[in-house]
A and B are shown apart, each in its own frame.
Chain A
Amino acid sequence: MELFANLGIGLTTAFSWTNLIYCFIGVALGTLIGVLPGLGPTATIAMLLPITFNLEPVSALIMLAGIYYGSQYGGSTTSILINVPGEAAAVITTLDGHQMARRGDAGKALAVAALGSFIAGTIATLFIALFAPFLAEFALQFGPAEYFSLLVLGLVMAIVLARSSLLHAWGMVILGLLVGLIGTDINSGITRFTFNIPELADGISFVVVAMGLFGITEIVRSLEENPSTSENIQELSHLMLNREDWKHAWPAILRGTVLGSAMGLLPGSGSILGAFAAYSLEKKISSYPHKFGTGVIEGVAAPESANNAGAQTSFIPMLTLGIPSNPVMALMLGALILHGIIPGPLLMTEQPHLFWGVIVSMWIGNLFLVILNLPLIGVWVKLLTVPYSLLYPAILVFCVIGAFSLNNSELDIYLMALFGLCGYIFYKLDCEPAPFLLGYILGPMMEEYLRRALLISHGDPLVFIQRPISVIMLSIALASVIAMWLAKFSPRYENLIE
């Protein structure tokens, strides 16, 4: 069985002592930062990126993945205990999770979130191992035209699924694409848009962009909103689930896992769709739908499982096609490229250790998550009481040193401040930064594939609609834009946003 051989490669890589340690550090750091109120996975990963730079690519990716689900779980903790979601997907957990906590069942809510995530993670790992090779084989037929269309599809999905206005999502993607072009053009060697600053010849490090847009902006935003951290923390109850709880929770976990795994594959979706869909499904098939929102255990189990399953399967399009499906995957992609690894269909055959090692380490990471979180939950709760006025200067210190250490250059510190300012302006104008980041990372690739596709077709732009896979992807992109545009006029749209 090829599957077992592959998982075997992964097991030997992931179970090496160094990788186990990095996985553990990643999960622990991710939970530590993610549990701090208001810091979601994107900001956490952006902040912690610099510390993975000196590692081997496999270890770096394993650690980053650990940070990802660690911070996601940390975000669930804050959602449940103090009703502050760290990211969009965790909003759904607050609906019933916080109600459970207010009723005195915080321990149960946290336990079902952790166990649900673990079960979902286990199933999703198997799903990836089964599914990813097919996708990679399929992607081997891709030429430059297909890649270009795929990138267009990915960007369009990011635009369509943006929460704010469609128009500004377009604007943000194009702005991001343009900023991505700063630096030396690989074909002609001409430096573009560098304003005669020699350090910009290599382009702006995406770490600086991410830390500015997500880290610094987040701090200023939180300061304006004056978060009150030390209040409203709910008492912890016992963590054990009884037989009745399990009876309700486990089918919800399985359904959430299936929905989340499927949704995670969609480009541009991220985990929000999965969590949302899982919650709606539970509500629809439940015999007591009116109780949802008052603290039912399915309302925590399903979205949390979907979240985690989606977080894992979203690695598939990133690793096999090089298409990030959400801002977090965009950060992962950027980190891989920095290590000199270009994700794509060949990654699995050329770097089986990296590919399968990361997949297996996800399962180990989820195990660490359960081990770390259930017994240590008291420690994380203590962290919630750290006042924000002492927290953000510490985060700033970390960001400044992290930015400087990229190239040992002050310029990166100033650029980080500049992107922090940009992010703040975007926020005030209701423009989302996520499409910007996707455009920024995909910009150079898109230009290159466009160039190559047109070179092969002798300058005939019809190549994009003559090749079947390419035309299908462009049609999907077009159809989703039209569908979204039409949906804006329907009254149900407002409800969907809520």
Chain B
Amino acid sequence: MLLRILRHEWRQLSGDATLWLVAGACVMAIGYGVWNGARWVQFQQAAIAEADLEQASRYDALGKQIHALSQPGATVSPFADPRSPSNLGGRLGPKYATLPPAPLAAVAIGQSDLLPYYFKVTTDARENIVSATEIENPNRLLAGRFDLAFVIIFFLPLLILALTYNMVSAEKEQGTLALVLSQPVSTATLVRGKVALRGALLVGVLVVLSAAALLITGADLTAPGAAPRLLMWIAAVSAYAAFWFGLSIFVASLGRSSTANATILATTWLAFVVMTPSLFNLIATSVYPVPSRVELVQAVREASDEANKEGSKLLARYYEDHPELATGDAAQAMTDFNVVRVAVNDDVETRVRPVVLRYERQIAAQQATLNRLQFLSPAILMQNALNDIAGTGTARHQHFLQQVDAFHAAWRGHFVPLIFAKAQVRALDTLPSFTFVEEATAMVWTRVATAAGALLVPAFLLAWA
């Protein structure tokens, strides 16, 4: 019976211009969205390649210079000497910490246009390193991107509503419902058949088109991690679609007219997709406001002034904390500019830390609030899931920042003892390097599965209500 309904529905749908309009709109939106995503991924890859190239050529030159200086009679200004660990770890030899786009990055641009994906790491204080950003026209950041995630979050629900708002009411209005129900078929089976066909069609078309667009624009679906992410993407999109189908079934069960159904569904879409996300954001940012970073700027400034004033006293304290670094002629070292600077940098960071933590706490509180509120908004759930899958969300960036912090610590750990020992660097290949370690796929799975579950539960509740 179900099969017969499916076949009949297909005949009806394919005869209707709506389906072909919807399909055409889908092709264009998906094509444009994926193309935009792919362009952005290529831009990032090019920037990272450029950074690698810059670093390699700089290191090449430094290596040659060090070699030249090892020849007898060669001289260089102490400020430009690459053998000085202070110069090399600071101005001359910084290394990039880069976050490469994840295999499926093209499906959602997410926060990746806003959050920096490479830093030049030096022995300088942390806040001066992580405050770097990518160049972008602020108008573009404001508008957001037309990517596949936008198509799914905003567009897909509208397509579902357009295909389903009158699936039962139209039959009632045409008088065919009574005829159909006089056959040995329940309303539930009828609706199930109608929804199954539309759902399979829509999700099928979406997945096939998106995968095709991804392949055409050069995404490597055989890269490690690409396949599970693609599966997650299909699961998440299906769950999101299921939610909207469930809603439509629920509205159909109210037995109102087609016009009333359309109004109810469109209003729900507006509330869920357009209004609640902005409103929740407003709530989170108002309850946990993050003060302007000008306060941080001033805090760093004041801390540096204080620390510089106390320069030599600080160094004495530093030696107390790190007796292993005190070399024989500690008195002489006290006056050494570079050594004082290490102690000053360290002190600035300690002083500024509480201020930085205050910002981080507020942001974390906003995130926590929204993590709870997202269960009231399918659009936010979906955005988080898609960003997670694409690796362009906050979670992967946090993961990156932690590694940058660790690398920064390692970088300093390498240079500070050399600065104290007043040693000279003779080889560049022993310096620490940064390689991004991808987040465990299981973590991503957990988050995506939670979101999908949170969409599927109401979907089933609505459909069976």
Are A and B part of the same complex?
no
Residues of chain B touching chain A, judged by Cβ–Cβ distance below 8 Å, are none
